[in-house]
Amino acid sequence: MKTLKNKPKSPKKKAKSAKKAPKRKRKIPYVYTGDYHLEEELTAILYKGDQRLTVYVYRAKDGRLIKPFIRKCCPYEGLVGDIRDEFGSGQYAIFIRGKAIIFTGIIGVETPIGWVPPR
């Protein structure tokens, strides 16, 4: 009969943990800065008014959005004017999504001189 000898156990190899790449800060593009492609894309989406899409509007400062969102609605043609009337001038980040995000951009809204918000 064979006897089992106590073999010294070899040290277990530690699984190499996958090093995660540092999280990349993505810049949100500005819409009205000469990039007519973004401007046309935003205008087309708002003009169509597709009820299956959702628009999220955030305040933005220095290219970063400030949470929480200030408006959630379906896209419609007068959205930018309504943002100006309701929230005043400033930078706003706009995200439009259906099943996935289809548009992201920052718009700058200014009020005309002598403009008084409607009450």
- Dump pLDDT digits (tens) for 64-88: 889 999 999 999 999 999 998 888 8
pLDDT score of 113: 72
What's the pLDDT at 114? 73
Q: What is the enclosing helix (H) or strand (E) of 93?
A: strand 90-97
2-44 pLDDT tens trace: 666 666 666 666 666 667 767 667 788 889 887 788 999 999 9
Phi, psi of 57 (to 5 degrees): -115, 125
The span from the CA of 20 to the CA of 46, in Å, is: 38
pTM: 0.72
Higher pLDDT, 115 or 37: 37
